[in-house]
Amino acid sequence: MRVDLHTHSARSDGTDSPAELMAAAVAAGLDVIALTDHDTTAGWAEAAAQRPRGLTVVPGVELSCASPVTGADAIGVHLLGYLFDAEHPDFRDARVRLRESRHGRAEEMVRRMRASGLPIDWERVSALAAGGPVGRPHMARALVGAGLAATVDEAFRLHLHHGSPYYVRKADVDVGDGVRMVRAAGGVPVLAHALAGRRGRVVGDDVIADLAAAGLLGLEVDHPDHTEEDRRHLRGVAGELGLLCTGSSDYHGTNKQTPIGVFGTAPAVLDTIIGLSTGTRPYAD
Ligand code: AMP
Ligand code: FE
Ligand code: FE
Ligand code: ZN
C-alpha cells in the first residue's frame, strides 16, 4: 500500500483541482493521499464528492506557523494537521486570519515589486489564487506570465526568496498554539519538513521537544527538501520523543518539479494517525 500524506491542490498553491490531484494519485499507483492545502479546507468537499473508487483521501491542512511567532528571530514552520473537525471555532478562525494576512502581504509584495520596476499585475496574482489563500507561487506564475522570469523556480530565486527585498512575512500562528488547536479539533498534528534549510532558518531539537510536550504527534521525516542527513537526524529525534515518522511528496502540480508519491508513509503509521484522530474520518470506499 502506497501512502502520500502531503499534497496541494489549486485550492491553495498547487495547479491541479482536487479531482485532478486524485486522478494523478491513482495514475501514480497510490492508494492513499492526504489533501493538505495551505491554511484552507476548501478542497475537502470536492475531494469527498469526486474521489475515485479505491483511493482513500485523508482530509488535512498545512498551517502557516512560526517559532517564535513574532520578532526578528521568528522561524517559519509548517504544521500538517490531519482528520480534524473543520468547524472547530478557534481553529477555523485562525485559518481565516491566516488567509486574510496572506492577502495583505501579497498586495504589499506586489506593490514593492511594481515600485522597483517589476510590472507584476495584482489582478493576475489574485486571479491565479482564485479566491483561495494567495501565496508566492501565484506571484511566481504571474512573473513568469509577464516574462519577468523563465520558470516558477527562477521567479523564487530572483525575486521571491525569503531574503529578497520584496519579501514580506505573513502573520503566522505560534506553532505551539497550532499544535494545541489541531488537537483540540480532534486532529493529528505532524511537523512538516522541519529541516528544509533551503527555505530559511530551521528550528532546533529543543523546539521539537517543546512541541512534543505540547501535543505534537509526528515528524515529516522523508521529504524532497531534506537531505539524507536531515532524515537520519529527524528519525532519531522522533525515536527519542516517541513521535510518528511520516513521508510525503509535498506535490504542487506543475508549480514544483516533485512528482506525487516520491516519498511515502508506512501503512501502520497511517493506521495510527487514523486511530488517534477524533475530528473526522478519511474518505474511503
Ligand atoms: P508562501 O506560503 O506564500 O510563503 O509561499 C511558500 C510556498 O512556495 C511553499 O508552499 C513552497 O512550496 C513554495 N516554494 C518555495 N520555494 C519554491 C521554489 N523554489 N519553487 C517553487 N515553489 C516554491
Ligand atoms: Fe505550497
Ligand atoms: Fe510546507
Ligand atoms: Zn506543502
Three cell numbers, residue 217: 504527534
**Cα(238) to centroid(ligand 4), Å:** 20
Residues with CB under 6 A from ligand 1: 13, 38, 135-137, 152-153, 156, 252, 255-256
Task: Note the residue count of the chain.
Answer: 285
The total domain count for the chain is 2
**Cα(40) to centroid(ligand 4), Å:** 12
CATH assignment at residue 116: 1.10.150.650
Nearest residue by C-alpha to atom 14 in ligand 1:
137
**Cα(193) to centroid(ligand 3), Å:** 7
CATH assignment at residue 34: 3.20.20.140
**Cα(169) to centroid(ligand 1), Å:** 13
The reported pLDDT for the residue numbered 199 is 80
The reported pLDDT for the residue numbered 26 is 98
Contact 247, 263 (CB under 8 A): yes
45 and 76 in a single domain? The answer is: yes
Task: Supply the Cα-derived Rg of the chain in whole angstroms.
Answer: 18
The reported pLDDT for the residue numbered 52 is 98
119 and 258 in a single domain? The answer is: no
Containing structural domain, residue 152: 102-160
Beta strands in the chain (DSSP E): 3-7, 32-35, 56-67, 75-82, 173-174, 188-191, 218-222, 244-247
Nearest ligand to the CA of 11 is 2
Which segments of the chain have a pLDDT < 70?
A: none
Give the list of residues 6+ apart from residue 73 with CB closer than 8 angstroms, or none. Answer: none
pTM of structure: 0.97
CA distances from 53 to 27, 56, 171, 261 (A): 13, 8, 39, 18
Three cell numbers, residue 276: 488517534
87 and 183 in a single domain? The answer is: yes
